Chains A and B, each alone.
Chain A
Amino acid sequence: MSDQLYQERIVALAKAKTRAGKLASPTKSVRRDNPLCGDRVIIDVTLDGQGRITEIAHQVRGCLLCQASTSALASVAVGRDATGIADLRHDAERALGRESGEAREPFAAFVPVRDYKSRQECVLLPFDALKDALS
């Protein structure tokens, strides 16, 4: 039953829309589309001299999982550089069962997506976008 997927925490993350919007003067703005389903994420970041995120904002035209994941990522991204964001992706991959180990918060919320392989790219799309923004 899909209610097993759309658990309260995922719905809450999506509805929170943490740091949703645009930055006035981003260092970088990156758009990523999932060509299979049409989900679209735009992430704006400002970076300090060491490549650490000082500000982040996002616009999502996508499903609830993509909205929730982007919101979760934005909530913990500030202060991290590319390596730090890659660490967060490992958490998401662990939550999805693609890597062994336990996922840390906030990405543990995505454990229910383990059984829905066709939806896992929805969760990972903002990570791809942010990686592009930091490269």
Chain B
Amino acid sequence: MSFDVTAVRRQFPILSEIIDGRPIHYLDNGASAQTPLAVIDAVRTYETTSRANVLRGVHRLAERATEAYENARSEVARFLGVQPMEIIFTGGCTAAINLVAYSYGQLLKPGDRILLSELEHHSNIVPWQLLRQRSGIELDTLPVTADGRIDLGALPQRLTNKTRLVSLTHVSNVTGALLDVRAVVEAARAVGAKVMLDGAQRAPHGPLDLPALGIDFYAFAGHKAYGPNGIGVLWGRPELLEAMPPFHGGGSMIGRVTFAESTWAPPPRRFEAGTPPIGPAIGLGAACRWMGALDWSAAHDHEMALVQRLMDGLQEIGGTRLLGPASLQNRYPVVSFMLDGVHPHDVAQTLDGFGVAVRAGHHCAQPLMDRFDLDGTTRASMVPYNDNDDIDALLAGVRHAARTLR
């Protein structure tokens, strides 16, 4: 089935911006995706017709705001294939992982172990290191294969009967590799460990069926999934959320407060202390609805055709090396590469001159850079609104950098 990329692009006003006489070729979606009109309109509608705090007021605006906020929770739940009351709105994906590290971490004992991998973003490393400092847990790591996948062959050695949680990236923000979740869940279950996925790079590529994945926690960021900044999601199995103590204290998360003691609201309120990011949550709900309406089978084929075009084009330029799976199987549209003799930042700066936005550097994955002894990579990350012109502009820029900076 053909994919009408022009129709998708029309929904993103920023893609018609001209900077210094050039169109934008936005290939930095892995850092932050652009926002469609459906999301902009949803936030604007809230701000102009329904702005008020949620859950507390009895006036009409408060009723409207609460309804829109809870509808957003339902949209996110539908997107993930779970129940609305299992959805916690957070400040972002990092905040969601920190929530689990703090609250689920409170249930762990010294000597308990958490298994990570060398492929993780810092946001799925540092919160666990902080937990280790607080409570004496131990961290283990899975190695990464030469083609940038988590080496699941090491699972039997790295999982122990002390492993309580396996927390891994669903899709790598550097290599695009998709995790074999089934294999991880099966191995984790065998030792009684829970499984958490960092879905920041997977969520922007279509609806999920979390119960079918068999995992226990899932986190993703709104701004990478066509939503506003300052919003993220944590999904957790209800029995786990129910057992977890609060992360932040304040309004909305309580049952009853006295100076002697306080009691906690049930999830998700227990984990949404204070006034939540209401507008961003409503925007994220609209983004999930927008994603839900897209034909992702066609969109994924389109994305992977862009990956192939990019990889083929890069390999025709002397001195380029790709970091990540060579195959299109079990991967998502993130392509990292190096241009020998030119630092990634200089490649990215050159590309900016061609109107091409990419990310360069360590991608908040320094252990992975150490694994491959790299200063960094240049990364192009695609979504359905990208087209062949974007890829061709990038390739022209890389050729220019190869000619002028070596």
Q: Which residues of A contact B (CB under 8 A)?
A: 1-3, 5-6, 11, 36-40, 61-65, 67, 116, 119, 122
Q: Is B265 an interface residue (CB 8 A)?
A: no
Q: Which residues of B contact A (CB under 8 A)?
A: 20, 342-346, 349-353, 360-362, 366, 369, 375-376, 404-405
Q: 3 closest A-B pairs (Cβ-Cβ)?
A: A2-B353, A63-B343, A63-B345
Residue from B343, B345, B360, B405 in contact with A11 in the complex, judged by beta carbons closer than 8 Å: B405
A2-B349 in contact given A38-B362, A38-B369 (Cβ < 8 Å): yes
- Residues on B with beta carbons closer than 8 Å to the beta carbon of A37: 345, 360-362, 376
- Residues on B with beta carbons closer than 8 Å to the beta carbon of A1: 20, 353
State the Cβ distance, B398 to closest chain A Cβ, in Å.
Answer: 12
In angstroms, Cα B353 to Cα A40, docked, is 25
In angstroms, Cα B25 to Cα A21, docked, is 39
A40's nearest neighbour on chain B, judged by CB, is: B375
Tell me which of B342, B345, B350 has the highest count of chain A C-beta atoms within 10 A of its own C-beta: B345
- Residues on A with beta carbons closer than 8 Å to the beta carbon of B350: 2, 6
For the A-B complex, the count of residue pairs with Cβ-Cβ distances under 8 Å equals 49
In angstroms, Cα B360 to Cα A61, docked, is 14
Contact indicator B366/A6 (Cβ below 8 Å): no
Residue from B20, B342, B366 in contact with A38 in the complex, judged by beta carbons closer than 8 Å: B366
A6-B376 in contact given A38-B361, A38-B362 (Cβ < 8 Å): no
- A2-B353, A6-B346, A64-B342 known; 18 new pairs, CB 8 Å cut-off, are A1-B20, A2-B349, A2-B352, A3-B353, A5-B349, A11-B404, A11-B405, A37-B345, A37-B361, A38-B366, A38-B369, A38-B376, A39-B345, A61-B375, A63-B344, A64-B343, A64-B405, A67-B343
In angstroms, Cα B113 to Cα A90, docked, is 50
Tell me which of B20, B343, B376 has the highest count of chain A C-beta atoms within 10 A of its own C-beta: B343
B366's nearest neighbour on chain A, judged by CB, is: A38
- Could you list some 13 contacts between A and B, CB below 8 A? A3-B353, A5-B349, A6-B346, A6-B405, A36-B361, A37-B361, A38-B362, A38-B366, A38-B376, A39-B345, A61-B375, A63-B346, A64-B342
- Residues on A with beta carbons closer than 8 Å to the beta carbon of B369: 38
- Residues on B with beta carbons closer than 8 Å to the beta carbon of A116: 349
B22's nearest neighbour on chain A, judged by CB, is: A1
In angstroms, Cα B343 to Cα A39, docked, is 10
- Residues on A with beta carbons closer than 8 Å to the beta carbon of B344: 63
Contact indicator B375/A119 (Cβ below 8 Å): no
Tell me which of B349, B360, B361, B376 has the highest count of chain A C-beta atoms within 10 A of its own C-beta: B349
State the Cβ distance, A110 to closest chain B Cβ, in Å.
Answer: 14
- Residues on A with beta carbons closer than 8 Å to the beta carbon of B352: 2
B369's nearest neighbour on chain A, judged by CB, is: A38
Contact indicator B349/A119 (Cβ below 8 Å): yes
Tell me which of A5, A37, A119 has the highest count of chain B C-beta atoms within 10 A of its own C-beta: A37
A1's nearest neighbour on chain B, judged by CB, is: B353
In angstroms, Cα B360 to Cα A2, docked, is 15
State the Cβ distance, A91 to closest chain B Cβ, in Å.
Answer: 23
State the Cβ distance, B25 to closest chain A Cβ, in Å.
Answer: 14
In angstroms, Cα B349 to Cα A65, docked, is 11
- Residues on A with beta carbons closer than 8 Å to the beta carbon of B346: 6, 63-65
- Residues on A with beta carbons closer than 8 Å to the beta carbon of B362: 37-38
- Residues on A with beta carbons closer than 8 Å to the beta carbon of B353: 1-3
Contact indicator A122/B345 (Cβ below 8 Å): yes
- Residues on B with beta carbons closer than 8 Å to the beta carbon of A11: 404-405
